[in-house]
């Protein structure tokens, strides 16, 4: 089961959810007057990222969980993985790229410790085909969307 989140323009406003599927109500980027126009105001354009598996189940004694980030869109994406518990979970890589219609792996390592309700959020933004520093892309502007990845210590 995959959790798939798409970012689209919803009647001229950006939204990021699993239920929003409409494209921008304008017919071109130039006629769109809202801040999201460069990201998604083209008829039918959307950007999405999914994680498989959609949640990480790791033993409380510590272990590794590998996930595949999939990008079915036609644009290259940069990603940033954020955690609610950086003391217990190690992420590799924290920043990276997923090519257009491509995939990339991330590793989540849990150190031993008591179970706690934690989560990861994978933020994503469009990236130029020649971009080399994913961290730099996140220094400016808001992400296009995010994919929540629940962490379950079993």
For residue range 84-99, what is the model confidence (pLDDT) as tens digits?
999 999 999 999 999 9
pLDDT at site 64: 95
* Domains identified in the chain, total number: 1
Ranges 10-14, 25-29, 44-48, most confident: 44-48
pLDDT at site 46: 62
Q: What six digits make up the tokens of 8? A: 């689209």
pLDDT at site 41: 40
Edge-to-edge strand list for the sheet holding 3-10: 13-17, 3-10, 47-52, 63-71, 102-110, 89-92
For the ranges 1-5, 51-55, 76-80, the lowest mean pLDDT is seen at 1-5
The residue range of the domain holding 106 is 3-153
Beta-carbon neighbour count of residue 52 at 10 Å? Answer: 13
Q: Which of 100, 98, 143, 146 is nearest to 119 (CA)?
A: 146
Query: Between the CA atoms of 38, 41, 42 and 48, what dihedral angle is there, to the nearest 10 degrees?
Result: 80
Phi/psi at 36 (5° precision): -85, 0
First to last CA, the chain: 19
> Taking phi first (over 0 means left), then psi (-120 to 50 degrees means alpha), and beta for anything else, what does residue 12 get?
left
Q: What is the pTM of this model?
A: 0.71
Look up the CATH number of the domain holding residue 84: 2.60.40.10
d(CA 76, CA 90): 25
Q: What six digits make up the tokens of 25? A: 């109500």
Choice between 15 and 119, residue whose per-residue pLDDT is larger? 119
For the ranges 20-24, 105-109, 112-116, the lowest mean pLDDT is seen at 20-24
For the ranges 16-25, 65-74, 133-142, the lowest mean pLDDT is seen at 16-25
Choice between 53 and 9, residue whose per-residue pLDDT is larger? 53
């Amino acid at each position: 089961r995959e959790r798939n989140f798409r970012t689209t323009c919803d009647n001229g406003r950006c939204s990021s959810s699993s239920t929003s599927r409409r494209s921008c109500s304008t017919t071109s980027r130039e006629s769109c007057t809202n801040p999201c126009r460069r990201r998604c105001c083209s008829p039918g354009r959307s950007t999405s990222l999914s994680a498989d598996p959609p949640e990480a189940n790791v033993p409380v004694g510590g272990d590794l969980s590998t996930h595949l980030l999939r990008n079915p869109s036609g644009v290259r994406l940069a990603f940033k993985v954020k955690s609610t518990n950086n003391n217990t979970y190690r992420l590799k890589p924290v920043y990276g790229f997923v090519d257009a219609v491509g995939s990339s792996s991330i590793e989540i390592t849990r150190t031993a410790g008591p179970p706690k309700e934690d989560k990861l959020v994978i933020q994503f933004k469009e990236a130029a085909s020649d971009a080399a520093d994913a961290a730099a892309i996140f220094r400016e502007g808001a992400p296009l969307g995010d994919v929540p990845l629940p962490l379950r210590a079993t």
